[in-house]
């Protein structure tokens, strides 16, 4: 009996080791690409460009991040930009999913809202940032509005598309077993639309970060966009790239987080 238990434990360890190696191999190309790009960037900045007034090396960017963090300036900028993004993104996602559901379930609502969604989605909303700042001031409200306007349309479009592409055969099958409309929505339509909804949420991350930066470039007391603008004006390339790197890292982290959540909520897609 003890030998069987030991053999089972060995098999489990072997399985975990094989899974770990498989995951490492799966990520090897990505990690190699990142480190290779950083090394090339360091070499070009140090030996080809040769001046941090035009291009800062990754090592110089790290030093700038440390200096900004020690002075407390980085924390202030990250907090302001993060708050603007979270508020705008949350509002846009909630309204976007709700509008997408309404458009999918009501042909009349779709006909009424579709021209506005299509028109505003195609409009360069970033160009309207100065107008929003004029209306709402240079405080946090104008940035939240810019982020929300940029994020909401991918969420609406993907939610509506996901609900409309639900298999009618599945719907008719569960209806034949006596399911009501609420059960059909919760058990069939919504799970079927979740991959589309997650795609819209992930698309909104990049658009929301762009909205934060652009809105802060036009007028802000603090934030990563303001840090980037101020650094560009003073030719402080390490600080400028520090702000850009933080935004890029935040985008990667949030996109990966949604990917992890999607795998947990939609295990059947694996």
pLDDT of residue 92: 93
For the record, the structure tokens of 192 come out as: 């079927």
Q: Which of 50, 69, 89 is the last residue of a domain?
A: 50
29 and 66 belong to one structural domain? no
Q: Are residues 96 and 26 in the same domain?
A: no
Same domain for 113 and 10: no
What is the span of the domain harbouring residue 6?
1-50
- Is the same domain home to 150 and 242? yes
Of the residues 15, 31, 50, the one at which a domain ends = 50
CA triple 214-215-217, angle to 5 deg: 65
Q: Which portions of the chain are predicted below pLDDT 70?
A: 1-26, 52, 268-270
Output the six-digit token pair for 241.
Answer: 């790239």
Last residue of a domain, one of 29, 50, 71: 50
103 and 5 together in one domain: no
pLDDT for position 23: 59
What is the radius of gyration, based on Cα positions, of the chain? 24
Whether this model's pTM surpasses 0.85: no
Q: Are residues 97 and 1 in the same domain?
A: no
Q: Mark whether 35 and 66 lie in a shared domain.
A: no
Residues 152 and 258 reside in one and the same domain: yes
In angstroms, the Cα distances linking 59 to 2, 32, 69, 154 are 55, 18, 15, 37
Tell me: do 189 and 257 sit in the same domain: yes
Q: Count structural domains, the chain.
A: 2
Q: Please report how the helices 58-71 and 237-265 are oriented relative to each other, as an axis angle in degrees rounded to 10.
A: 90
Mark whether 142 and 233 lie in a shared domain.
Answer: yes
* Domain CATH for 82: 1.10.3720.10
Q: Are residues 149 and 233 in the same domain?
A: yes
Given a contact cutoff of 8 angstroms between Cβ atoms, the answer to whether 175 and 189 are in contact is no
Residues 74 and 159 in one domain: yes
């Amino acid at each position: 009996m003890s030998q069987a238990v030991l053999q089972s434990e060995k098999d489990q360890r072997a399985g975990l080791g094989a899974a770990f190696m498989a995951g490492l191999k799966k990520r090897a190309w990505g990690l190699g690409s990142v480190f290779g790009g950083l090394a090339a960037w360091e070499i070009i900045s140090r030996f080809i460009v040769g001046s941090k007034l035009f291009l800062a090396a990754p090592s110089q960017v790290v030093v700038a991040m440390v200096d900004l963090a020690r002075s407390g300036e980085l924390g202030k900028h990250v907090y302001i930009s993060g708050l603007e993004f979270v508020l705008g993104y949350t509002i846009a996602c909630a309204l976007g999913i709700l509008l997408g559901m309404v458009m999918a379930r009501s042909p009349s609502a779709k006909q009424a809202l579709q021209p506005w969604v299509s028109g505003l989605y195609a409009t360069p909303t970033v160009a309207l940032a100065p107008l929003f700042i004029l209306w709402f001031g240079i405080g946090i409200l104008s940035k939240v509005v810019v982020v929300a306007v940029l994020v909401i349309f991918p969420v609406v479009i993907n939610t509506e598309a996901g609900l409309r592409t639900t298999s009618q055969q599945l719907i008719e099958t569960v209806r034949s077993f006596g399911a009501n409309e609420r059960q059909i929505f919760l058990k069939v339509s919504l799970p079927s639309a979740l991959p589309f909804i997650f795609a819209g949420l992930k698309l909104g991350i990049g658009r929301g970060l762009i909205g934060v930066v652009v809105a802060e470039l036009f007028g802000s007391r603090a934030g990563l966009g303001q840090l980037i603008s101020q650094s560009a004006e003073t030719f402080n390339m390490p600080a400028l790239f520090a702000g850009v790197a933080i935004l890029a890292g935040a985008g990667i982290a949030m996109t990966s987080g949604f990917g992890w959540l999607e795998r947990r909520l939609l295990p059947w897609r694996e």
